[in-house]
Structure 1
């Protein structure tokens, strides 16, 4: 790709005979101070301090083979030689690192110039590669017009992964939230957004993977209509045992809803040891009426069969986190990893409460 930016004949050849299919990821991230990251090593610190990045992922599982264009808030990047983007001299200094598939780009002086460079670079990449998946990560970067950004004209309304976690002073309105859920096609959706909206009814949860925090706008009824395979949701308050847990289990058990579900995790907001114990006791008493089988050794777990095909789900609830895992051959190992993580979280929360 470097030759395509330094040689017009090579650029024409690659445009005529595209050789690879790639995923393209745009990252718009909070700037980090490179000095504060030097414990990772100077080279990695420079990479982590990028505030906008374009990543090319080739058709393999080796992340070390990803090609990154990192726009730094650093005017001191020393250009190794001049490059052209789409036949025009690159307006920002660029340098290719020798030890990594990485270009450093001197940005940070003018946000609009940096975004225009990112857009022109995208056009250049698109002209020499087939792109089958677009991904976006919007993470804490300030003064960024997400819905007016350039990438929409390339991705349209279809994304592989869409990760939205803006600064806390950025609020999404109802139309924007509806657009994300009801108009976009996303395989892997992660949302941590602020909104003053009350419950928004009629949101379509159709991503294969869904992870959401701060969900005061999301109704449990829409979750129960979900077509997702993996769901992880942190709700803002206490989980109603009947509406959130027992009803969800029963809809899956009877085969009426959640037919695609493989893994589900609900977490409540806030901490109350008394409420945890009350909710846990109420849950297992009411779950008994659904025909559960208690776990062989763990008191906070049980099993339940689906009526339609006898699929088995493992249920776990400690008053804080509810998990439902439709089991397969790999679930035992996955379950152990998840439980270890949850236990660690609970211990930390308990210690904080005692202090």
Structure 2
């Protein structure tokens, strides 16, 4: 027989009672009676029609973005402590977990933890309380994020985004009081160029429902232009403006089997996408997901991915204090200027296209000669 402490039982009853009278529960009841939410009509392709895309990206061409270098690297869904050790050795700083038993191992290894949930309007108050109890079990020095849903428009299109706004307002005082270092997070697909103005405004509800936004640019699926990583990040910032909130971004890239060829991504494409994200202001670069069985089916994928992570983490450390300005040209060349506190300048340019263009080879990354200050030369 399992015994629950009286304080825990009282806390649970108070939380459940609060949910039953809260806007969250009311929204859940209302949403369960709705036959359709706006999420059901959102475009979820990973590739926009070319005419729509070319018109949409005009406003972002040659417009500089100022940022700092990415310092966090995350992997989704490790399956074991051995996986955690492997990820730590690759330079990852955090993991997003859906396996409750792994948080202690992550803490021992020095990995920070984001807890992943899949909550919808049909989630019971008891399930939400269990998620909070799970958070209470994690070392507070390790826990940094509490994700309430992954791609709600795909995984629960019948749930109106208003539900997550109300859930956020209900969770926020609990999280702020008990877990002051923890951010409430949510992810979504895109945002893609095919979204209408009304749909962008609808997405802005999600940006009012989180402290951190996870976006998922997957242009390597179905061979969409890889420069979509940059443009999707800028589109996300446009939605932030609609929500009147500036949020840290987590950019999630795929390390999973891609349709229609059912193959893992090419490392050269991953490199170009990762560089775009890191040079354009993502706070965290994330990958979905780490599956040894799947990775083992592709010769040398693990070794090449490890080499890529070494390259990315070294760049992160080397340019940690630099100011970065990045823009993209009409022919898909991303250009970044990295300026140190002392004034030395490093320039990185890369071709986001799978074809040669403007004197660049396909997917070529160029590091231009560094310009130093007189003080550094001495």
Same fold (TM over 0.5): no
Higher gyration radius (CA): 1
Higher strand proportion: 1
Structure ranking higher in helix proportion: 2
Higher relative contact order (CA 8 A, sep 6+): 2
Normalised to the residue count of structure 1, the TM-score between the two structures is 0.31
